[in-house]
Amino acid sequence: MNKLEEVIIEAIQDKKANDIVSIDMSQFEGAICQTFIVCSADSTTQVSAICDGVEDDADKKLGQKVWRIEGKTNGTWIVMDYGDTIVHIFQSESREFYALDDLWSDLPTTKHDSFE
């Protein structure tokens, strides 16, 4: 895990996200990135807060700016593009519906504990 991924996961944990996983995409030929980080939250407000926390911490701690953010308007699924790392922040119901984790279930996945 690189430093950016560590900072992103810590920021996600700090905002009390649920079911945090990182998926190693490097073994998938044609992948658009090296790592997906996926988490879920109980409300659209929490989804937005997680996004803001990730963006702030990556910038303050590493000087790393997000390339692009999609989904911030509705707050049910936000995607943050950091080049080699893409962050997916779901509202719990949307994560179940889209089942992104299942789509990539054959790739190496690491679970990251949430802070209680």
Question: Could you give phi then psi for residue 17, rounded to 5 degrees?
Answer: -70, 160
pLDDT at 34: 85
Whose tokens are 């905002």? That residue is 15
If you average pLDDT over residues 3-11, what whole number do you get?
A: 97
Q: Would you kindly state where each structural domain of the chain is located, as residue ranges?
A: 3-102
pLDDT at residue 42 greater than cutoff 60 = yes
* The pTM of the whole model exceeds 0.75: yes
Distance of alpha carbon 26 from alpha carbon 11, whole angstroms: 23
Give just the sign of the alpha carbon dihedral 76, 78, 56, 5: positive
Q: pLDDT tens digits, residue range 53-98?
A: 999 999 999 999 999 999 999 989 999 999 999 999 999 999 999 9
Helices (H) and strands (E) in the chain, counts: 4, 6
Q: Could you give the CA distance from residue 91 to residue 39 in angstroms, rounded to a whole number? A: 9
CATH code, 3-102: 3.30.460.10
Distance CA 99, CA 84 (A): 21
User: Which whole number is the average pLDDT over 46-57?
Assistant: 97
Answer with the residue of higher pLDDT: 69 or 25. Answer: 69
pLDDT at 102: 83
pLDDT band at 114 (very low <50, low <70, confident <90, very high): low
